[in-house]
């Protein structure tokens, strides 16, 4: 297997499915872990907003029930992201990536702001449509090569079609990278920084991982 992100540090086997950790994927995994821990330990900020048309300002408070639900979704998102970082199987990776899309909507779903909910709805549609190329790419690779194991594909027994890699990358980009992040940027207006940050971090990390997968296979 080409050592794109450095040589393997640790391989975790589940029968014929394995998770592998190179310096690259370990770096990404550790960052997902740190920000998940920060989400568990931090309380949300009191977001201050300016009342336009006057010199007043007000602070938005996050209710405890809302905070609990959003923290749960953030932890779920962090776990899905960590799973995607080490996965040595493209099918598992696609499942983790689509779970990231669902939990990203969940992180802001409890926010009582019409603007944020509209943005979350738009993002949800884009993320849902993006699962078509995501799973389509994986299906194409499976149909062509007979396997979705990354080490087996990297061994080069049969050539992986470029269109399969492109669809896989397109699916991940649709989960919240440029240029499909426009709706997502509006979601970041929501209060609750420790949770909202996980929305951008998770998309970034799964994009960084799919780049490694596309080059490796």
Partner 1 sequence: MIEYLAFAAIFGLLLLGLHRKVIARVQTRPGPPVWQEILHALKFSFKSTWVPKTASATLYVGVVLVGIGIWSAALFIVLAGESILILFAIYMLHKVVEHGFGLSSGSPYGKFGGVRSVISAASEIPLFVTIAAIYLFTGSLLLSDITAYQAVHGPFLLIAPPVAIAMYLVILSKMPYGPFSIVESKELVSGYKTEHFGVWRAGISVIDGLKTFVLLYAFVAIFIGAVPFSLALVIMTVILVSLSFVCAVTPMLSPFDSVTIQGLITGAMLAYVGYLWWVMP
Which residues here bind partner 1, judged by CB under 8 A? Answer: 2-6, 23-24, 27-28, 31, 34-35, 38, 41-50, 59, 177-179, 181-182, 184-185, 188-189, 191, 193-194, 196-197, 200-201, 204, 207-208, 211-212, 215
Cβ-based nearer residue to partner 1, 10 or 14: 10
* CB 170 to partner 1: min, Å: 13
* CA gap 29, 124 in Å, rounded: 25
Write phi, then psi, for 17 (nearest 5 degrees): -100, 135
Could you tell me the smallest distance in angstroms from the CB atom of residue 146 to partner 1? 26
3-state secondary structure of 60: strand
- Which C-beta is closer to partner 1: that of 12 or that of 37? 37
- Closer Cβ to partner 1, 17 or 31, answer by number: 31
Complex with partner 1: residue 16 or 175, whichever CB lies closer: 175
Give the closest residue to 15 by CA, choosing from 79, 86, 88, 83. Answer: 88
**Which helix (DSSP H) or strand (DSSP E) does residue 13 occupy?**
strand 10-14
- What whole-number distance in Å separates Cα of residue 100 and Cα of residue 77? 5
- Tokens describing residue 149: 């194991």
Which residue, 152 or 201, has its beta carbon nearer to partner 1? 201
Cβ proximity to partner 1, 18 vs 166, nearer residue: 166
Rounded Cα distance between 185 and 203, Å, is 12
Which token pair is 40? 């568990």
Q: Which of 112, 130, 131, 136 is nearest to 181 (CA)?
A: 130
* Shortest reach from residue 48's CB to partner 1, in Å: 5
* Structure-block tokens of residue 206: 């799964």
Q: Which residues pair with 51 in a beta bridge?
A: none
Instruction: Give the nearest distance from C-beta 42 to partner 1 in angstroms.
Output: 4
Could you tell me the smallest distance in angstroms from the CB atom of residue 41 to partner 1?
A: 5
Q: Give the nearest distance from C-beta 92 to partner 1 in angstroms.
A: 21
Q: What is the DSSP letter of 1?
A: -
């Amino acid at each position: 297997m080409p050592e794109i992100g450095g040589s393997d540090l640790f391989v975790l086997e589940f029968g014929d499915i394995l998770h592998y950790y190179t310096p690259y994927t370990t770096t990404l995994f550790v960052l997902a872990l740190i920000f998940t821990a920060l989400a568990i330990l931090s309380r949300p900020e009191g977001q201050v907003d300016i009342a336009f048309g006057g010199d007043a300002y007000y602070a938005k408070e996050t209710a405890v029930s809302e905070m609990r639900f959003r923290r749960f979704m953030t932890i779920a998102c962090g776990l899905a992201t960590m799973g995607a970082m080490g996965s040595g199987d493209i099918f598992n990776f696609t499942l983790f990536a689509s779970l990231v899309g669902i939990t990203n909507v969940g992180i802001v779903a409890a926010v009582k702001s019409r603007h944020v909910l509209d943005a979350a709805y738009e993002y949800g549609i884009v993320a849902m449509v993006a699962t078509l190329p995501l799973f389509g790419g994986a299906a194409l690779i499976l149909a062509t090569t007979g396997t979705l194991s990354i080490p087996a594909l990297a061994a080069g027994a049969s050539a992986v079609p470029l269109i399969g890699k492109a669809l896989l990358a397109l699916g991940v980009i649709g989960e919240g990278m440029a240029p499909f992040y426009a709706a997502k940027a509006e979601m970041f207006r929501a209060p609750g920084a420790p949770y909202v940050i996980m929305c951008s971090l998770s998309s970034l990390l799964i994009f960084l991982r799919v780049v490694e997968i596309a080059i490796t296979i």
